[in-house]
Amino acid sequence: MHELSIRNLSKSFAGSPALADVSLDLRGGEIHALMGENGAGKSTLIRILAGVETADALELEKDGRRLPLANAKNAYDAGFRFIHQELNIVPQLSAAENILLGLPYPSRFGIAVNWKELNTRARNALSRLGIDHIEPARQAARFNTGDQMLIKIASCLVDAEGMTADLYVFDEPTAALTGEESEKLFRVIAGLKESGAAVLYVSHRINEVMRLCDRVTVLRDGRNALTAPISRTGKEEIIIAMTGRSVEDMYPPRSRAIGAAVAYAASGVSTKEVSGLEFELRAGEILGVAGLANAGQSGVLRTVMGLSEPRQGRLECLSGAAPKSPSEAWKSGIAYIPRERRGEGLMLQMPVRDNAVLPHLDTLRRLAFLADRRGEQAMAHKTSEYVRLKAAGLSQPAYQLSGGNQQKVLFARALGKTPSILVLDEPTRGVDIGAKYDIYALVRELSEAGCAVVMTSTDLSETLGMCDRVLLMRDGAQQAIVDAAGLTPADLLRRIYAS
């Protein structure tokens, strides 16, 4: 059993402290959760452990002996392994190659790659994780995100001769995974724990942490806010430690009845991605779309957004003909927050302002083509204030913001012109708890004001907490629409499997 003790960890950037006197004890055979809002110092702590960042002060001891930690190699030699939410998979290579990436490949006569040996070693690594469904010779691109994550973990298990890993750090591993994929991952993590390794599990998802972890440490504003065994800690206590405030209810309740007007309707619609769409979305209603991984949830939203043309059936929009492209959709008052915040949502290098006003340039311009900088500034100011964006200013480039604030920029964009329909694909993915509340409140407020909302979320309690009805998808086909009222996440999961 290894013990790793971190004491007096301090680090400041340009005079402002990111970590102040933080302590953390990790034990072999234990899963330790690290929680905190964005900006609480979790990432800095991980970067220091990985040797990427140097601490101002740190006493690091492993089994009672001091450990140096000056660079990434120190961290690797100390047996630390890191699995990040951003996948560093090389999609063109095979699963086996990804697993052995960075190590010398086994070869014949020192020249030709010994593919058979390579695949065997990869398979061994996978089977140590209890994974047998991943074929090592297959191209990594052909696996889903969850399996890619498993491949990544397996690559941490393959070590150069004589090296063993003692500490696995998982940084938001489930952010991109569906429920089913997460379950697989949890089994793997439990296996690592049983093998005697220490696990540091960083996550926003409190339910996961409650299920999976043994102890939890919460950071707030760069300081220890709580360290306690999970078995003797309540959810509420963790949330209070993270946010510094008590939260009555995660999801703001609906206070007004849904209107009668139909904002958007699909009858018998099939597209390249989804089929059998049959629903009416009413003004003021929040419709959830749920299902297993890649069951077509995003496809439903893409259809509403005019990104996926119907092959058959009819789409109708209250404000006129259903849009056939995103540009038509925005024009007819449909606002969209795509799934991939960085890939599909933001121009990361560009200022908050430009990101926020982009779809509304037409309404802002003067003399038919002149950009109205003052108008842009005013709109961005108003909407970013409304979504409670925390940024150094409207000129700050988007990449400098935290995940939660980046998401708020997208909400600010959606609100530039009051939308009649709001299309949200995983609106709280990778967002800290504080920002989540802001987003829930915002969506509720908009819907009460008569905006129709259609959203997906892999977090079923979020789906139930926010939505009035839930549209269930399986294999790209609509199965049923159920009322959210009275359902528990377990009920919904059962319906998803049953449908």
Partner 1 sequence: MIRILKLYGTLIGFALIIVLFSVLLPGTFLTSGNLINISQQISMLAVVAFTMTIVMVMNDFDLSVGSMASLAGVTAAVLFSLGYPVYVGVAAALLVGLLGGVFNGVLVSLVGILPFVATLGTLTMFSGLAFLVSGGRTIFGRDIPSEFSGFARSGVPLDSVGLDGLKLPFLSLVALVVLAVVWFVLEQTTYGRRLYAIGGNKEAARLAGVRVKSLRLSAFALTGLGAAIAGLMYSSRVASANPTQGSGLMLDAIAAVFLGMTMSEEGEPRVQHTLVGVLILGVLDNGLTQLAVDSYIREIMVGAIVITAVAFSSITKQGR
Stretch near partner 1 under the rule CB under 8 A, chosen from 228-236, 260-268, 329-337, 484-492? 329-337
> At closest approach, how far in Å is the CB of 355 from partner 1?
8
364 touches partner 1 (CB under 8 A): yes
DSSP, res 467: -
| Distance (Å, whole) CA 342 – CA 301 | 18
Single out the residue of 348, 441, 477, 481 in contact with partner 1 (rule: CB under 8 A): 348
Strand partners, 320: 317
Residue 336 sits in the site that holds partner 1 (CB under 8 A) = yes
Among 27, 331, 390, 495, binds partner 1 (CB under 8 A): 331
By CB under 8 A, the count of residues binding partner 1 is 30
Find the shortest distance in angstroms from Cβ 51 to partner 1. 17
* Contact pick of 362, 385, 475, 483 for partner 1 (by CB under 8 A): 362
DSSP letter string over 16-29?
Answer: EEEEEEEEEEEETT
**Which one of residues 365, 388, 390, 474 is an interface residue with partner 1 (CB under 8 A)?**
365
Q: Which of 30-38, 171-179, 358-366, 466-474 is the region at the interface with partner 1 (rule: CB under 8 A)?
A: 358-366
Asked if 349 interacts with partner 1 (CB under 8 A), we say yes
3-state secondary structure of 245: coil
How far apart are CB 371 and partner 1 at their closest, in Å? Answer: 5
Residue numbers 371-400 binding partner 1 by CB under 8 A: 371, 397
Q: Which stretch binds partner 1 (CB under 8 A): 172-180, 330-338, 428-436, 457-465?
A: 330-338
- Which one-letter amino acid corresponds to residue 252? P
Least Å distance between CB 252 and partner 1? 27
CA–CA gap between residue 167 and residue 308 (Å, rounded): 45
Of residues 179, 276, 326, 489, which one binds partner 1 by CB under 8 A?
326
| Contact flag: residue 329 with partner 1 (CB under 8 A) | yes
**Considering the rule CB under 8 A, would residue 411 count as an interface residue with partner 1?**
no
Contact call for residues 63 and 115 (beta carbons, < 8 A): no
345 scored as a contact of partner 1 (CB under 8 A): yes
For residues 69-128, which are near partner 1 according to CB under 8 A?
A: none
Count of all residues that appear for the chain in the document: 499
Tell me how far, at minimum, the Cβ of 274 lies from partner 1, in Å.
18
- Dihedral pair phi/psi, residue 229, rounded to 5°: -65, 140
CA 400, CA 417: separation in Å to the nearest integer? 25
Q: Which of 305, 443, 464, 467 binds partner 1 (CB under 8 A)?
A: 305
Which pair of structure tokens corresponds to residue 354? 């430009």
Q: Which of 383, 419, 441, 487 is nearest to 281 (CA)?
A: 419
Token code pair at residue 90: 């090389």
Of the candidates 36, 40, 44, the residue with the CA atom closest to the CA atom of residue 9: 44
Write down the H helix ranges in 138-285. 145-157, 179-194, 206-212, 235-243
Tell whether residue 417 is a contact of partner 1 (CB under 8 A). Answer: no
From 65-73, 143-151, 160-168, 336-344, span contacting partner 1 (CB under 8 A): 336-344
Among 1, 103, 321, 347, binds partner 1 (CB under 8 A): 347
The nearer residue to partner 1, 107 or 327, going by C-beta atoms, is: 327
Q: Let me know: does 139 contact 94? Beta carbons within 8 Å.
A: yes
Residue 406 Cβ, how far from partner 1 at the closest point, in Å? 11
Q: Helix crossing, 433-448 with 235-243: angle to 10°?
A: 100
Q: Which of 39, 41, 136, 338 binds partner 1 (CB under 8 A)?
A: 338
- Torsion angles phi and psi, residue 386, rounded to 5: -60, -40
- Biggest CA pair distance of the chain: 75
Q: Which stretch binds partner 1 (CB under 8 A): 120-128, 157-165, 361-369, 384-392?
A: 361-369
Nearest approach in angstroms of CB 369 to partner 1 is 5
Cα 4 from Cα 49, distance rounded (Å): 11
Q: Which is nearer to partner 1, 142 or 342 (CB)?
A: 342
DSSP classification of residue 343:
I
Nearest to 479 by CA among 236, 274, 180, 246: 274
Nearer to partner 1, 27 or 331 (CB): 331
Q: How far apart are CA 167 and CA 60, in angstroms?
A: 13
CB of 72 or CB of 113, closer to partner 1: 72
Options 184, 413, 444, 469; binder of partner 1; rule CB under 8 A: 413
Find all residues with CB under 8 Å of 35, minimum gap 6, and list them: 42, 202, 203, 204, 206, 209, 216, 217, 218, 219, 238, 241, 242
Binding site for partner 1 (CB under 8 A): 305, 307, 325-327, 329-331, 336, 338, 343-350, 354, 358-359, 361-362, 364-365, 369-371, 397, 413
